[in-house]
Structure 1
């Protein structure tokens, strides 16, 4: 268990690896998930997932099975229970089954890999997690992405577009952030190939290796970027666009990686950013102070850049403005943040 209290160990970085793995498997619509451990492990993590989805106005529960290990299973081994549960899950005819291991099954030494590797007729993928023994949420998330990559065959060509890798399925504005990245790619006449993994079927995921470039959600996912580079030879960018200049640099980096001319797109984005500054001209001269509320890590260079662009002054005595937990994505994300700042200033 990660006890480091720094900001890098909060949110998606802290917590149980099961939650991280479930944040991947639950977003493959035609796959089912089996949590191999006591019923409480599945209940706790599914409850967290359900509560988060409700906050996103998504009124559904992904299909999750539990092996429901009891005292006898823990003493004599839970592999038979896992086999029975996989058989029960297969009655629903999924295209794949994801098995998430827990602290208990790792401690008692169940050979989960051996059970999953049997001929079940469909892929049964062991998402190594090990609960709190396996590390943090982020490690469970990354490990799950690597294991789900086993559904991807090699491609003959890599002209299928851009893969988006490791979106934060449980964050607010996940769709808005994706739409901003898709907008920027469209300025370069590029399309999205696969969102790995967000609401993509097993067949969709199989097209992943046809992508010509992988864009990671954030630098913390560079291990998965390297994994795919080694597996499929796909280059990657280590994060979504952040900041005004960062968004323009993102366009240039994507253009260079894909052999697309980016100068025209960059000029158009710069004009859009000039319009953004004019839209919030009423904030010019106002003083703000940036409050992390004890847990966010302020991206002061980004926030200072935005403040300067619209004529705001950063002053400890200014109106207290909450720092967003995650940096806003692209120019559109900055616009949403500035709308929030305006509400605080004019409250």
Structure 2
């Protein structure tokens, strides 16, 4: 990691926005992320990213570079620093450079977009990520996914048997488990994953995006990525999210089949049998009383929790054992629900 590690402080808002960029760009294996701002901005975000990856047993260190803006640049402008560092980075011939601005570089008025649009010796992609000016983690995340779509080549003949996985939450602990689960469900329809956009792929891999016949978003219920961008620029039909819940998983299979011209009868029947097995596996919980407690971003009022409890024979009551629901991401597919029920069992059995 090429960083000048100087002490520095940054707001949680800026850090969130730049971290949103890094949560995508750091998983392009042959690209460099250039953070245009003080060393402190780069250091705190790179350190947080590295710590998070280490907790996931991922020990690859992404290439992250800082322009190292100091007092002089903050007073007189940091465009020369950006020009100089970009020249040095491109000289090493990376597959691409993703440039993330910060609140400092945006506030002093550096023309980051203009500099990035100049002819360079390698592709340069600019993602605005100034936290103080209203940016959030999601802005950095969606902005980077959208910006990198410039590497998508014109589609050839789309293969209805291939699926793009778009926008995986690379920093969630269950990222690989969730990928394996949706891969299993797609495989029941003889559908294969085309590329994971963007998780541990090269810039060249993005060019294969147009070969798929279906786009599957990790979570895009509002259509920020699909309806407003990828559907239009690729013409590939899409599913807005990974399935969460028993009935949602069955509907996911039906929808994937409908969009790819597959008969889903056997796959749905097989998954219904898989879900029925949950009642047997967790029969020791039948008749227990639980109540759900929201302590994160999810709501305990989601129908999915009541659906799962009913399927297993668990009763919901305010007097029951308190079950804290997942603070960030919901369990994906049937196997995700199995992991969730194992957690419930631990809470119930104390």
Look up the match of 1:293: 295
Match status 1:346 vs 2:349: yes
Counterpart residue number, 1:138:
138
Aligned to 1:164: 165
Partner of 1:241: 243
Matched, 1:336 2:346: no
1:183: which partner in 2? 184
Aligned counterparts of 2:97 and 2:128: Cα–Cα separation in 1? 14
TM-score (normalizing by structure 1): 0.93
Q: What's the counterpart of residue 232 of structure 2?
A: 230
Q: What is the count of residue pairs matched by the alignment?
A: 336
**For residues 329 and 104 of structure 1, what CA distance do their matches in structure 2 show?**
39
Question: CA 1:221–1:23 in 2, change beyond 3 Å: closer, same or farther?
Answer: farther
> Which aligned runs of 4 or more in structure 1 are off by greater than 4 angstroms?
12-15
Structure 1 residue 303 corresponds to structure 2 residue 305: yes
Structure 2 equivalent of residue 129 of structure 1? 129
Distance 1:298 1:281, change over 3 A: same
SS at match of 2:21: helix
For the 8 Å contact 2:168–2:218, the answer to whether it is kept is: yes
Q: What is the alpha-carbon distance in structure 1 between the residues aligned to residue 97 and residue 222 of structure 2? A: 24
How far off its partner does 1:279 sit? 0.9
Query: Given that residues 91 and 121 in structure 2 are in contact (C-alpha distance below 8 angstroms), is that contact kept between their aligned partners in structure 1?
Result: no
Unaligned runs of 5+ in 1: 1-11
Question: The residue matched to 2:275 in structure 1 has which SS?
Answer: helix
Shift of 1:114: 1.9
Return the alpha-carbon distance in structure 1 between the equivalents of residues 155 and 212 of structure 2.
Answer: 9
**8 Å contact 1:166–1:221 — kept in the other structure?**
no
Pairing of 1:1-347 with structure 2 (within 5 A): 16-159=16-159, 161-219=162-220, 222-226=223-227, 227-293=229-295, 296-325=298-327, 326-347=329-350
Greater Cα shift, 252-261 or 210-219: 210-219
CA distance in 1, matches of 2:91, 2:203: 18
Q: Secondary structure of 2:65's partner?
A: strand
Q: 1:294 to 1:122 in 2, by over 3 A?
A: closer
* RMSD, aligned CA: 1.8
Q: Matched residue of 1:218: which SS? A: coil
For residues 158 and 297 of structure 2, the distance between their equivalents in structure 1, rounded to whole angstroms, comes to 41
CA distance in 1, matches of 2:33, 2:61: 12
For the 8 Å contact 1:165–1:216, the answer to whether it is kept is yes
SS of aligned partner of 1:334:
helix
Q: Is the 8 A contact 1:290 1:320 kept in 2?
A: yes
Change beyond 3 A, Cα 1:13–1:183: farther
- What residue in structure 2 maps to residue 6 of structure 1? none
- Per-residue deviation, 1:314: 0.8
How far apart are residue 327 of structure 1 and its match?
1.4
By how many angstroms is 1:308 displaced?
0.3
